[in-house]
Structure 1
Amino acid sequence: MKRNYFKEFKFQAVSLIIKEKHLVHFVSKQLEVHENTLYLWISEYEKHGNRAFLGNGSREFAAQKEVKRFEKENKKLKEALEVLKKFQVFLKRNHR
């Protein structure tokens, strides 16, 4: 089950690891957050600083989600184009 965390919570968790030098494993157990999640938060914090964790989730996650949506839409459009091309060939054969 996916849990949502407030950005303040994420900042505090990252601060425990980066500034207070606690081990990721220790913070993970104390906060009941998976270690991989903490590593993602650390990465985002190191990349974006105080501008990390905007909105619902990370910037990277939002960008990846949008890319996936565009890829899905692109696939549907390509399939529709192929159908139209086949139909066009069919119409040309029947008009002769």
Structure 2
Amino acid sequence: MKKIYDKEFKIQTIQMIKNEGKTVTQVARELGISGNTLYRWMAEFQQDGKQAFPGSGQLKPEDQASRDLQKRIRDLEEENEILKKAMHYFAKDRR
């Protein structure tokens, strides 16, 4: 079973490595976590800072904005199709 670590734990682990001068291997051994996992956490934290590790079902703000815009586009395209069909329906009525 895959162990799930929360955002706070990940940040504290990264700070152990950065602030206490411990090696990734040493911290990995102490916590029973893969060294590769810790390197991935560190890279993600370095790239995204406090926005890293958004959690299950959560998105980074820029990803959420992108998803919201894509939904808005789909909604507008659907509305456009409905209006086109209505226009054709009423155009037939006038003949």
Normalising by the residue count of structure 2, what TM-score does the alignment of the two structures yield? 0.56
CA contact (8 A) 1:14 1:42 kept: yes
Q: How far did residue 83 of structure 1 move?
A: 1.4
Identity %: 19
1:78 and 1:4, CA in 2 relative to 1: closer, same or farther beyond 3 A? Answer: farther
Q: How far apart are the structure 1 equivalents of 2:82 and 2:28?
A: 54
- Count of aligned pairs between the two proteins: 87
| Structure 2 gap segments, 5+ residues each | none
| Structure 1 gap segments, 5+ residues each | none
Of the two, which has the highest radius of gyration?
A: 2
Which structure 2 residues correspond to residues 1-96 of structure 1 after superposition, within 5 A? 3=4, 5-7=6-8, 9-16=9-16, 19-23=21-25, 27=28, 30-31=32-33, 35=37, 39=40, 41-49=41-49, 52-53=50-51, 57=54, 61-96=60-95
Question: What is the RMSD of the two structures over their aligned residues, measured on CA atoms?
Answer: 3.9
Normalising by the residue count of structure 1, what TM-score does the alignment of the two structures yield? 0.56
One-letter amino acid of the counterpart of residue 76, structure 1 = D
Q: How far apart are the structure 2 equivalents of 1:2 and 1:85?
A: 52
Q: How far apart are the structure 1 equivalents of 2:5 and 2:51?
A: 11
The ranges of structure 1 where at least 4 consecutive aligned residues each deviate by more than 4 angstroms after the TM superposition are 1-4, 16-19
